[in-house]
Amino acid sequence: MLIVCFHFSNTLSAQPRVSIIPQPVSIVEGSGTFVLNANTPIEVSSASVKNIGDYLAGQITNATGYKLKTNTVSSFSGNAIQLKLNGKSTTKPEAYQLTSSPSGVIISADSAAGLFYGVQTLLQLIPPKSKTNSGEITVPSVTINDYPRFAWRGAMLDVARHFFTIDQVKEFINNMVRYKFNVLHFHMTDDQGWRLQIKSLPKLTEVGAWRPERTGKWGNTPRPLPGEPKTYGGFYTHDDIRELVKYAAERHVKILPEIEGPGHSLATIASYPELTCTTDSTYYVTVGDKIINWHSKGFTALLDNTLCPANEKVYDFLDKVFTEVAELFPFEYIHMGGDETPKDFWRNNPKIKELMKKEGLENMNAVQAYFVKRVEKILKSKGKKLIGWDEILEGGLPADAAVMSWRGMKGGVHAAKEGHKVVMSPYTHTYVDLYQGDPLAEPPTYGMLRLRDSYKFDPVPEGIDSSMILGGQWNLWTEQIQNPRAAQYMIWPRALAVAESVWSPKSVKDWKSFVARVENEFVRMDEANIRYSRSMFDPVIKTSREGANIKLTMETEVEGVDIHYSYDGSYPDNYYPKYAKPLIVPKDALDVKLVTYRNGKQVGKQITLPVAELAKRK
């Protein structure tokens, strides 16, 4: 049974009384409120979950300034926040129940993880500072029963392209768990850097973790010069990883390490050149310069960035790497990458031809499949399971391997039908490094993903057995993202859409409700100094031609938003003409300037569209 009650006014900006992301399974609103004050105790049922009470106290201090005390009690009192561990087995280990009334708040669960997620919900029931009346902090009366749709609710952070410190990764984890994500996919190796200390292979961090510094646009950077100082980069020591794993576990997050191969391995090869199929190149850690030629038919390697499947040294190397990785990361899976492997340097290589003849491999996909199977065997010897990007399906896959589907949903569908567990992370819905508004108004990247498209994400395609779908995740690739503030802008609010897709029942998802709740989270993010994008308020622009003139057709993702425009070079406000039908751009205009308003208040950013750039669009 599902009961959800919201109170909207006539304007979309009005916030629901109960605003929670991701939307719980069941919400029943009551009457009255619980008044939270500086003397409200947090009571826990056992010492084993006192850390969750302490976590809650710290978060309440951040939100209100109150310094609440956590007490372990045998019997609960009134006018308190109570965390009860039921102590019984359950088929829904992350489920929780939350009841708030004028006499107190009770969160109960059968596991510590359930209590932790109930705490995240309570924190969203406490109003933002700017919404409190006369300094009084109240929690609405409500009864919530909740549990996740999927066990795997992931977020990927690419630290190979740009290095993030331990503290920055901890902040990333803290922001993940606010919305009940529980897997940190840690992309630690690529062409641009190797970020994990491997004690048995010291050159990986002595060489592979460093490159010359570049601060300009990715892909527009000059190749490193001989002897140029390698001052940019960094890596995580074993102690760093142990600290991160412990920190994440305290927040019920598992860390999935990714060691990329056979492609995306130039930092590895720069450290140990003997791992390639080629011997006539100079290998280096790239700085974003062009090593792959991307074209309409795929891609062609300009420099060999692959581990050689026919080189036995590669498997000895990987055995050493995965021995240390398996000891550091307790999660049952290790990600092997496997995507975007250019095979140009394999095709005419004598060692590859010899391997194909020896193993009966018919083509290059079979060669990569041979590599995948060797890697899977190594991981199994370490007590781990293999997961990789959907390209690992090409040429056949070991029975126990799992697939992370990124090239849309097709790879995941194929894998599930073949009996492989699947994590859905299609770029069409979950790649948060893509444009979230018009490219002329956003940081540079290579594709478009609006918030509404993220919200359409459903990890279970029609006709697929849902038991084969572990869950889903969003991915932040950092080629274009050099610092945490830039990362935050790209993540939020699109990650909120994915949160609701992997936690909430499909039946409770509602776009209008979601938008209102997102706006409520914007208030919290402002107070927490978290950067986010307001691109959902900006116009979606389609360009066409009417005779010799450019024609602009526009709409907004969010209802009730007006688009105002100018042609004369001045920045429009809500007194400028309002968009009502497609615009025919005057021939003498140099720019079209746009801005969005709602109820007399600017909600989107000022956007300048140079006519010369619009003319290039199809």
pLDDT of residue 15: 56
Check if 190 is active-site.
yes
CATH architecture of 152-503: Alpha-Beta Barrel (3.20)
Q: What is the pLDDT of residue 5?
A: 41
Strands 104-109 and 80-85: parallel
pTM above 0.85, yes or no: yes
Cβ partners under 8 Å of residue 56, min gap 6: 42, 68, 70, 81, 83, 119, 122, 123
264 catalytic? Reply is yes
CA-CA-CA-CA torsion sign (514, 23, 187, 420): negative
pLDDT at res. 133? 63
CATH of domain 26-146: 3.30.379.10
Catalytic position from the list 340, 394, 453, 527: 340
SS3 162: coil
Per-residue pLDDT, 135: 67
User: What's the CATH number of domain 538-614, 3.40.50, 2.40.10, 2.40.128, 2.60.40?
Assistant: 2.60.40
Q: Give CA separation, 69 vs 62, 66, 92, in Å.
A: 14, 10, 30
CA gap 100, 268 in Å, rounded: 54
| Torsion over CA: 460, 464, 465, 468 (sign) | negative
pLDDT of residue 567: 98
Specify burial of residue 581 (Cβ count, 10 A radius: 0-12, 13-18, 19+).
Answer: exposed
Q: Is the dihedral of CA 449, 453, 457, 461 positive or negative?
A: negative
CA distances from 247 to 173, 205, 254, 511 (A): 9, 24, 10, 34
**Minimal CA–CA distance to 524: which of 564, 552, 490, 496?**
496
Q: Report, as ranges of residue numbers, the positions in the chain whose pLDDT lies below 50.
A: 1-13
CA distance 397 to 375: 11
Q: Where are the domains of the chain?
A: 26-146, 152-503, 538-614
* Alpha-carbon span 360 to 580, nearest angstrom: 65
431 DSSP assignment: B
Out of 190, 521, 557, 591, pick the active-site residue.
190
The reply to whether domains 26-146 and 152-503 share a CATH topology is: no
Concatenate the DSSP letters of all residues of 185-225 into one string: EEE-EETTEE-B--TT-THHHHTTTEE----S-TTSPPPPP
Residue 16 contacts residue 496 (beta carbons within 8 Å): no
Give the span between the Cα atoms of 208 and 217, in whole angstroms.
22
pLDDT of residue 17: 79
299-339 pLDDT, tens digit each: 999 999 999 999 999 999 999 999 999 999 999 999 999 99
Predicted local distance difference test score (pLDDT) of residue 219 = 85
Q: Is 240 a catalytic residue?
A: no
**For residue 194, what pLDDT is reported?**
98
